[in-house]
Structure 1
Amino acid sequence: MLIKPLGEESLGVRSMSLYVETKDLKILIDPGASLVPFRFGLPPHPREFDALKAFRGKLMNLADKVDYIFISHYHRDHFTPPYSSIYMGTGAKDYELVYEGKVVFAKDYETVNPSQRRRGIGLFKAIQGLVNKWVKCDGQSIKVNNTRLIFSTPIPHGKPGSRTGYVVGLGIIDESSSLGYIPDVQGPLSREAVEFALNLRADFLIVGGFPAYLLGGSFKQEDLNEANNNLVTIWSNAKPKKLIIAHHLLRVINWRDYLPSGIEAHTYASLLGLSDNLLEARRRELYEVENPGRDYISRFKRGGVEE
């Protein structure tokens, strides 16, 4: 099994995008990325736009090579939308190149929060006539020759009852190894995420990390404690060969300080043999050392997109 990270915070953008290849299939997982419009009161630094452009280039180069796409949920950093956006690095017709002729395994947009539902329906309508097939994948198990795809039932996006809705996790199992992908579970913070990881017992396990950058606001110390207890349960019982911590946790520079002791964590960047490139977490620093000037900043208006 080939696992190729494409975009993620350790690679300079908000994303969890992957390319996975087995003898039986080639699949793009969550083919999207975004930049947060304002962090530390500052718009994205030019280096972040460079990283976003690089991500889009890698994604588009792979798009015509795959037969399958998986969309875990409808936050904008997890799929390519049917419109142009500077914060997602998309042109107006990019989505056609991404989805055309593909079998799309997608989270059921009827079991998400209202904003995700609107986006899911909008994407579904936009790509009708383009895709080979659209499959609402929640809870399904699908076999492609000797490769199995196991989709979780809906898992809370972070805390149970969160207003940000639900995601679907994915397990890919072939004759050589297995991958578990559990995005945006923020720690994890739910029993459903822990149970999916324990049932998979994947060799490579990717878990969306705790949003430490929101600690003291919408997330409390007790949430971090719960997330770490759950992570220890997964580490001790599922015993992955490699545990990859991704996404929300890597929006702070000292993200490893928030992990429980004894856990060996990898990142998307380290899987590629690279150092972490935490551009969003370093945005204030980047402006200090490479200030693009007032004219650059004045082009951006407050507001914009959520993740």
Structure 2
Amino acid sequence: MHSSTDQGRYGIVGRRGRVGSEVPIDASSKRIPSTGRGQRKDRGSSRSFERIYKGKIILAKDSRRKINTAQRRRGWMFRQATEKLAERFEAADEGTFEFGKTKLRFPAPVPHGEGESELGWVLPCIVEKAKEKVFFAPDVQGPVVRETVDLILREKPHLLVMGGPPTYLQGYRIGDEFFRTAIRNMEKILGTIPMVVIDHHVLRDEGWYKFLEPVRKSAEKANHKLLAASELLEKEPEPLECRRQSLYEQDKPSKEFLDWANLPEEKRSDKPPPLTT
């Protein structure tokens, strides 16, 4: 598949078809339905949704294949809600799209974490322009699957942005071997790819930096770099989610805000939160 258009008029929806899962979509009316928080919020959500997708080219994961039940439902709802707003809606799996001098390629979906798990599949994206190549591999959780590692090594991108493993679930929902495999695969990737940005799950764990230490050492031996996204801008990483509890203790909300938060939803929708600056 090939297409061309002006810059700034396309949107990419990959990963697990999550667009539409954060805010439920009424597929029959093609708008965001009431969330139980009042019509004012409903109207605002509808306007935001339309502003994001109207007139855009949407390249989304195919909701009919390589997909689990939850993904299929969200993907169908998303397409129903956006197809009439968008300039064009296309399933991107295994497709190639050209926008000016920039080429987007979407390989076949890869497992979200372990192969044959109930978590479904994610859609990688490769961006190429001139002699540069960026590979975006979201939610691969390591990766821990050989086919994902092989795909990355075949492509040999200059920059890889990759979802790390969910270490905060270690010993709770995921066994140690999962993480040993993730470390081995990351070391293998960093032996070939000159720059890797690690993102998503692993940064939810306060021990993320220590966990990645063996991978970082392997990268240094090859004169390669393992970074957090902020380090691309030469800024220190400040992941907030792993510090949620301590940040709350440092700056607790006021009693007035907590009282408002404990109101029934229908009352909260009619009364703005008491915020302090």
Same fold (TM over 0.5): yes
User: Is 1:124 equivalent to 2:124 in the alignment?
Assistant: no
State the AA in 1 paired with 2:12.
F
Q: Residues 13 and 19 of structure 2 are in contact (CA less than 8 Å); yes or no, is this contact kept in structure 1? A: no
Q: RMSD in angstroms over aligned alpha carbons?
A: 2.6
What are the within-5 Å matches in structure 2 for residues 46-61 of structure 1? none
Larger Rg: 2
Report the secondary structure of 2:188's partner residue. Answer: helix
Select which of 61, 64, 76 maps to 1:107: 61
Counterpart residue number, 1:67: 9
Deviation of 1:199 (Å): 2.0
Q: Which runs of 4+ in 1 moved over 4 A?
A: 76-82, 293-298
Change (3 A) 1:25 1:193: farther
Q: Residues 68 and 104 of structure 1 are in contact (CA less than 8 Å); yes or no, is this contact kept in structure 2? A: yes
Q: 2 CA distance for matches of 1:249 and 1:196?
A: 21
Change (3 A) 1:293 1:104: same
Change (3 A) 1:143 1:122: same
CA deviation digits over 1:280-307, x for unaligned, max 9?
A: 1101101211111566457279xxxxxx
Q: Residues 139 and 163 of structure 2 are in contact (CA less than 8 Å); yes or no, is this contact kept in structure 1? A: yes
Counterpart residue number, 2:244: 283
Aligned sequence identity (%): 29
Counterpart residue number, 2:203: 250
State the AA in 2 paired with 1:117.
R
Counterpart residue number, 1:45: none
Q: 2 CA distance for matches of 1:114 and 1:296?
A: 39
CA deviation digits over 1:215-260, x for unaligned, max 9?
A: 11221111011111111121113x23x2100000000122121122
Report the secondary structure of 1:158's partner residue. Answer: coil
Q: Which segments of 5 or more consecutive residues in structure 1 lack a partner in the other structure?
A: 1-23, 27-65, 302-307
CA deviation digits over 1:90-144, x for unaligned, max 9?
A: 8232121111111111001123222222111111101122101111111122333
Range with greater deviation from structure 2 (91-100 or 182-191): 91-100
TM-score normalized by structure 2? Answer: 0.76
Kindly tell me the number of residue pairs found equivalent between the two proteins. 234
Counterpart residue number, 1:92: 46
Counterpart residue number, 2:29: none
What are the within-5 Å matches in structure 2 for residues 149-228 of structure 1? 149-228=104-183
Q: 1 CA distance for matches of 2:74 and 2:21?
A: 11
Q: Residues 80 and 95 of structure 1 are in contact (CA less than 8 Å); yes or no, is this contact kept in structure 2? A: no
CA deviation digits over 1:39-75, x for unaligned, max 9?
A: xxxxxxxxxxxxxxxxxxxxxxxxxxx2111111223
Q: 1 CA distance for matches of 2:240 and 2:11?
A: 27
State the AA in 2 paired with 1:220.
G
Q: Residues 143 and 149 of structure 1 are in contact (CA less than 8 Å); yes or no, is this contact kept in structure 2? A: yes
Q: Residues 71 and 79 of structure 1 are in contact (CA less than 8 Å); yes or no, is this contact kept in structure 2? A: no
Range with greater deviation from structure 2 (206-215 or 108-117): 108-117
Q: Residues 267 and 276 of structure 1 are in contact (CA less than 8 Å); yes or no, is this contact kept in structure 2? A: yes
Q: Residues 161 and 199 of structure 2 are in contact (CA less than 8 Å); yes or no, is this contact kept in structure 1? A: yes
More helix by share: 2
Change (3 A) 1:178 1:280: same
Q: Residues 191 and 218 of structure 2 are in contact (CA less than 8 Å); yes or no, is this contact kept in structure 1? A: no
Report the secondary structure of 1:70's partner residue. Answer: strand
Q: Residues 102 and 127 of structure 2 are in contact (CA less than 8 Å); yes or no, is this contact kept in structure 1? A: yes
Change (3 A) 1:229 1:109: same
TM-score normalized by structure 1? Answer: 0.69
Range with greater deviation from structure 2 (265-274 or 174-183): 265-274
State the AA in 1 paired with 2:250.
V
Q: Which has the higher contact order (CA 8 A, sep 6+)?
A: 1
Q: Residues 143 and 149 of structure 2 are in contact (CA less than 8 Å); yes or no, is this contact kept in structure 1? A: yes
